[in-house]
Copies of this chain bind each other. A is one copy, B any other.
Amino acid sequence: MSGPKIVRMTTPTLRDVAQLAGVHPATASRALNPQTRPLVNAETARKVLRAAESIGYQPNPIARSLKTARSATVGLVIPDLTNPLFPPIVRGIEDVLTTAGYNAWIVNTDNDPGREERQVESLRSRQVEGLIVATARRDHPLLLRLHRQGVRLVLVNRRVDGLELPSVTADDDAGIAMAVAHLASLGHTKIAHLAGPQQTSTGVSRARAFRHALLDQGLADDPRLTVECGYWSEAEGAQALRRLLDSGAEFTAIVAGNDLIALGCYDVFAERGMTCPDDMSVVGFNEMPFLDKMRPPLTTVAIPHYEIGVEAARLLLDTIEEPDRHPRSVLLAPSLVVRASTAPPR
């Protein structure tokens, strides 16, 4: 158990393993690779594995990628990691990928198409085996091109017009319907919608769902009560609400396109001396963290972020393993979390 200690300065390669096991590198390669292990004598394989173990051999993924044009890596294209919506999705994705022996390579695009293009290029040049994209716009030439080039894609939270890509989204219709039903049950009849950007599928689908929900509740659909936000941000939400209030339109409740837009409303309430929920009820969407500690705690539609990530990763792995399988999409059920930003109108 003692013997001379061999200190190696360079990280061990396949040749080292082969040499130690007394076989040819090709044999060592086959033995080490579960796929090809059956091709090699069981005893030899054992020897090789033991040798590899003993010197702490780790295959060099770079060399492997160069040879195989694969990488066991997928790219995550995220608009902005500081948006609290995305980290839990990323966690879900990573957990599934890791289990399957894959890694995730995350890039921020900042919603800048040029930057997105460069980042995606950088991912592709690293041979990622697929892309999970959270930046999708309804009209998205880059995604179209990638799809045509055969790049495996999965969308999260978004769809692209005229492109049947696998996607994982929350059921926006159901979520918005819950929000509107909740407000209606409190007695609200004049409900406004601060819609998300209409270049995003989510912005559009939530706005459409809003109108449908009004109809279902037997409420009038006043187009002046829907205002679009340029981004999914607090600042844009505030701006949109200001415009709406300044227009003189009358309403007692707001369905916001997402939580950030809803929080933007809080700023306007403070500016204008309004109190929520007494003067105005608000419902958000997404259930970002810490809403329970807001003033007032925000009623919102909760979507299963982590599960969205999980499903997205599964979809992509499926696509990688069964390239010919028909594209599926996954719709996840949301739930309403009632807090203190909603109350009967007074």
CB of A108 within 8 A of CB of B84, answer: no
A sample of 21 cross-chain residue pairs with beta-carbon separation below 8 angstroms, ordered by A number, consists of A58-B121, A58-B125, A59-B125, A60-B66, A62-B62, A62-B71, A62-B125, A62-B126, A66-B66, A81-B87, A81-B90, A82-B84, A82-B88, A84-B289, A87-B87, A91-B108, A106-B106, A266-B293, A290-B294, A293-B295, A295-B296
Residues of chain A having any CB pair with chain B under 8 Å = 58-63, 65-66, 71, 81-82, 84, 87-88, 90-91, 94, 103, 105-106, 108, 121-122, 125-127, 263, 266, 289-290, 293-297
CB of B82 within 8 A of CB of A94, answer: no
Besides the contacts A59-B125, A63-B66, A81-B81, what 19 more A-B pairs have beta carbons closer than 8 Å?
Answer: A58-B125, A60-B66, A61-B122, A62-B62, A62-B65, A62-B66, A62-B127, A66-B66, A81-B91, A82-B88, A82-B91, A84-B84, A84-B289, A103-B122, A263-B290, A290-B290, A293-B294, A295-B295, A295-B296
CB of A105 within 8 A of CB of B108, answer: no
- A345 CB to closest chain B CB (Å) equals 22
CB of A61 within 8 A of CB of B126, answer: yes
| Cβ 8 A contact of A82, one of B58, B60, B87 | B87
**Interfacial chain B residues near A65, Cβ < 8 Å:** 62
Complex CA gap A60/B71 in Å reads 13
Complex CA gap A82/B94 in Å reads 13
**Which B residue's beta carbon lies closest to that of A94?**
B108
Complex CA gap A159/B58 in Å reads 30
**Interfacial chain B residues near A91, Cβ < 8 Å:** 81-82, 108
Complex CA gap A295/B297 in Å reads 8
**Which B residue's beta carbon lies closest to that of A56?**
B121
- A135 CB to closest chain B CB (Å) equals 16
- A86 CB to closest chain B CB (Å) equals 8
- A30 CB to closest chain B CB (Å) equals 21
Complex CA gap A294/B125 in Å reads 44
- A286 CB to closest chain B CB (Å) equals 13
- A90 CB to closest chain B CB (Å) equals 6
**Which B residue's beta carbon lies closest to that of A295?**
B295
- A311 CB to closest chain B CB (Å) equals 18
Complex CA gap A91/B91 in Å reads 18
Complex CA gap A90/B110 in Å reads 13
**Interfacial chain B residues near A60, Cβ < 8 Å:** 66, 125
